Amino acid sequence: MIVPPEYQTKIETIDSIATLPTIATEILKIMRGNNTSMREIAMLIEKDISVTAKILKVANSPLWGYASKVDSVQRALVLLGLKQVSNIVIAVSLYSTFASLRPNPYFDREQFWLHSVSTGQIARKLTRALDLNFQGEEFVAGLIHDIGKMALDQFWPDQFQEVTRFSQSNNIPMIEAERQLLNCTHAEIGAALLEYWNFPETIVTVLQYHHFPHLAPTQKELTAIVYFSNLLCGLWECGFDSEYGSRCLEEEPAWSVLQEAAPQIKQLDLDRFTFELDTELEKAVGISRLMSVTQG
């Protein structure tokens, strides 16, 4: 058990979002296969009319710049690729799940969603830069790394508001405030939720340890990718200082995890990498905006 019994009991009563793990888990399962076919993915997506409509809206947006109209899921798959469409499906599913929550003045959901999509985009770019291969799970893990915060916001709103107030008033990280007030963290709640939804163990582990990847019993490299992507996203949001950023990254305990898996990280041009993030994160902003206006 990842979380205290009172949280686990509540997690196991969450039925309002029971439809999410079906499509998300099936997408992940198919993408891990060696003989994934476009038709197989298309048939799965087309079972959900709402998701299909949103996929087509995203595919027809200026983000991709296609001259011809994308009028079918299979056409979207041909143009965008299996992994990109699968990632968008999971993003759409997650956003739709949590889009109708009651307002919380202490938690900016739009900013949260943008941060989530951006972290996924950075994870994908960092994975490519280091010539690693996680079969696309780096984007999914980056996208949902903080889903525990959304669960807290929806199912424990009073406690979550207390945590956010405590974090802000004492100028301490959310995860420290959570540990002090809740006796568990959003990382652990997110992992417990995905475990209950039967998500792959890989993703569950990444979520549980995404603040402390060097402590992860398995999946250290993928967890470290998500950790640094989250960190880079935060630095980017605050106005990235490359000199500070480089020193900050190299002092992190998780740096040695990636260094061992990808020694070429020593040659990573951080200035260039962060400069190129602007293009990636413009896409993230675009996707985030599309998700916010394509409900229903």
| pLDDT (tens digit per residue) in 1-60 | 688 888 888 888 765 544 455 677 677 777 666 676 788 888 888 888 877 887 888 788
Reported as a single tens digit per residue, the pLDDT across 154-206 is 888 889 999 989 998 999 999 999 999 999 999 999 999 888 877 788 899 99
Domain that holds residue 81: 5-292
pLDDT of residue 220: 94
**DSSP line for the chain:** --S-HHHHHHHTT--TTTHHHHHHHHHHHHHHSTT--HHHHHHHHHT-HHHHHHHHHHHTSTTT--SS---SHHHHHHHH-HHHHHHHHHHHHHHHHHTTPPP-TT--HHHHHHHHHHHHHHHHHHHHHTT---TTHHHHHHHTTTHHHHHHHHHSHHHHHHHHHHHHHHT--HHHHHHHHHSS-HHHHHHHHHHHTT--HHHHHHHHHTT-GGG-SS-HHHHHHHHHHHHHHHHHHH---HHHHHHHHHTSTTHHHHHHH-GGGGG--HHHHHHHHHHHHHHHHHHHHHHHT---
State pLDDT tens for residues 184-193.
999 999 999 8
Region 111-125: mean pLDDT is: 87
Highest-confidence range of 37-41, 149-153, 194-198, 209-213, by mean pLDDT?
Answer: 209-213
Mean pLDDT of 146-150: 91
Can you give the pLDDT at residue 63? 67
Which domain CATH number covers 101? 1.10.3210.10
Q: At residue 210, does pLDDT exceed 60? A: yes
Is 50 exceeded by the pLDDT of residue 89?
Answer: yes
Confidence band of 246 (pLDDT split at 50, 70, 90): low
Residue with the bigger pLDDT between 22 and 72: it is: 72
The number of folded domains in the chain is 1
Q: What average pLDDT does this structure show over 107-125? A: 86
Average the pLDDT over 140-166 and give the result.
90
Candidate ranges 209-218, 244-253, 270-279; pick with highest mean pLDDT = 209-218
pLDDT at res. 292? 61
In percent, the amount of the chain with pLDDT more than 90 equals 24
pLDDT mean across residues, the chain: 81
